[in-house]
Amino acid sequence: TDEKMLLDNSGLMPIHIDVSKIEWLPDMNLTVKTVKKTQKNKKTKQIRVVSKTEKADTFFNFFSNIDDLEIKNIENEEERKMILESLLISDYDLTCEIETEMIPKVYKLFY
């Protein structure tokens, strides 16, 4: 991707971030969790277990596309742009924090 298209006019803040999708092994996806609920039929008194998957709060959501988030449902274009810009800035800040604070110290975990 052309670097000029990824940065704003000042060249400091991103205006678009490309991410790679994580291909999870079956039953190993940390970004979703399976919730099991029991339901009881009022007439027959039978109990059944219903399972559904929900999005889990995890660090790995950092690697998902911002476009995949629920901002598509916001009809106000100006509000959507503000939320998208806020998400881009927070992702950029988190990336800088990881790069400057965590990566230089990670070797200490292995020695």
The ranges assigned to domains in the chain are 1-19+65-110, 31-64
Please give the residue that has the higher pLDDT: either 18 or 54: 54
The pLDDT of 72-78, averaged and rounded, is: 78
Q: Are the C-beta atoms of residues 53 and 32 closer than 8 Å to each other?
A: yes
Most confident of the ranges 15-29, 31-45, 73-87: 31-45
Show the tokens assigned to 28: 């190993």
The average confidence (pLDDT) of the chain is 78
96 with 104: CB under 8 angstroms? no
- Give residue 5's pLDDT: 47
Residue-level pLDDT at 48? 92
Is 111 a residue whose pLDDT tops 80?
no
Say if residues 8 and 16 touch (Cβ distance below 8 Å).
no
